Amino acid sequence: MWSPGDAEAPAYAEVQSGPYRLGLRRGERAGPAPDAEFTLFVGDLDAAHARLRAGGADPTPPEVQPWGGRMFTCTDPDGHVWSHLEYAPAAGGDEA
């Protein structure tokens, strides 16, 4: 177990349960309530983006990443950044 500010804490961790994956990253805000960044792996990025906008959120536009996936971010009311990520299909049409 690591504490906030612990130099030995990993910068990124990923948890998977069946088809569900969640990535956790230390945020940049320090202090007594440090922030965190979360990554949700989704199968349909455009649908996830539309659901958030319909619910009143203001996500960034989806963008293709240099490594091939597509991603957008959205900040929750507590200031935590939630990235939504869709991997690009691998060569041959199979998903990575």
CATH class of 18-86: alpha beta
For the chain, residues with pLDDT lower than 50 are 91-96
The pLDDT of residue 94 is 42
pLDDT at site 95: 43
pLDDT at residue number 96:
38
Predicted local confidence at residue 7, as pLDDT:
67
Domain boundaries, the chain: 18-86
Cβ burial of 37 (10 Å; 0-12, 13-18, 19+) is middle
Name residue 70's beta-bridge partners: 64, 86
Instruction: With 0.75 as the threshold, say if the pTM is over it.
Output: no
**pLDDT tens by residue, 62-77:** 999 998 889 999 988 8
